[in-house]
Structure formats: C-alpha cells, structure tokens
Amino acid sequence: MISDTIQSQIQNAMKAREELRVSTLKMLSSALMYAKIAKMGDLTAEEELAVVRKEVKQRNDSVEQYRKGNAEDKAQKEEAEIVILKEFLPVEMDESELQSIVDGVIGEVGAVGMKDMGKVISLVKEKSEGRADGGKIAMMVKEKLGNI
C-alpha cells in the first residue's frame, strides 16, 4: 500500500536533505490521511491511487495557471512534485493500447453515438485498470463516437 511506503521514503528523503521530496511526500501522506478519515476506514489500493491521481491533476492545473501568470519558477516546482507523485502510479499504457481498448469497448457495447459516451468511458476505465488518464480516455471516446 502507498501509505506504508511513504513513511519510509519521507525518512530517507529527510536523511538525504531532499526538501522538495520531503514536502511532497508529507503532502501526499496528509491527503491520504484525510481520505482515510473521510471514508472512516482504511483505503483500498485503488482508492489510494485515486488520491495520488487527484494530487497530480491539481498540480497539472497549477502548472497551467502559473504559466498563464508568468510564474515559471512556481510552475517548475509543481512539475517536480508531479514527477515525485507519479512514482506511486502504475505505468501509463501507450496510446495504441488504449485506442484498441476504446475500439473494443465501442464494438462490445454497440455504441452508436454520443449518448453512449458515459457507458463506454466507464468500461474503458475499468478495462484499463487505472493505467490511463480519464481525460485522455474521454477525448478518445468522444472523437470515436463523434465520427460514428
């Protein structure tokens, strides 16, 4: 589980005096603890991954905002945090593999237009087992269903 790994990594980063890594890992540990409290119980591995993905998404949004505001130094800090957070996520599947899953699900469901988009996205997320970004899945599905 991610929470178990984080504590030892925080200690290692503190010994190595890696300030950015320490602060990022502590933030992630805190986010996981808040999620655990909100659930009023232990998180499953999938729920932990969802928390990490949420943190990565927040940082991506921040990078975009910092770049719009010409705060390149802050954007670079956020990008460095993203690299650390992504260590806890499974390796993303490549685009061709994801495309074949999308095509397979569209055929399996018999999708005929945009009205089936939610059903297709849901099944693709399930079949990709958390190895694909939800935004990328939605974009591919929308593109495919728009051409039907």
| Residue 68, domain extent | 2-86
Which of 66, 86, 106 lies at the terminal end of a domain, its last residue? 86
Which of 40, 62, 86 lies at the terminal end of a domain, its last residue? 86
Determine contact, residues 119/90, Cβ cutoff 8 Å: no
Q: Are 42 and 18 within one domain?
A: yes
Q: Are 14 and 64 within one domain?
A: yes
Q: Are 71 and 134 within one domain?
A: no
What pLDDT does 61 receive? 94
56, pLDDT greater than 70:
yes
Residues found in the chain: 148
What pLDDT does 3 receive? 82
Q: Are 10 and 70 within one domain?
A: yes
What pLDDT does 69 receive? 93
DSSP codes of every residue in 59-97: HHHHHHHHHHTT-HHHHHHHHHHHHHHHTTSPPPPPHHH
**What pTM did the predictor assign?**
0.75
Q: Are 109 and 68 within one domain?
A: no
Q: Are 82 and 13 within one domain?
A: yes
pLDDT tens, position by position, 72-109: 999 999 999 999 999 998 888 888 888 888 888 888 87
pLDDT band at 129 (very low <50, low <70, confident <90, very high): confident
| CATH code of the domain containing 130 | 1.10.10.410
pLDDT > 90: percent of the chain = 50
Q: Are 8 and 59 within one domain?
A: yes
Q: Are 55 and 122 within one domain?
A: no
Which of 67, 86, 105 lies at the terminal end of a domain, its last residue? 86
* pLDDT top residue among 124 and 85: 85
Determine contact, residues 91/129, Cβ cutoff 8 Å: no
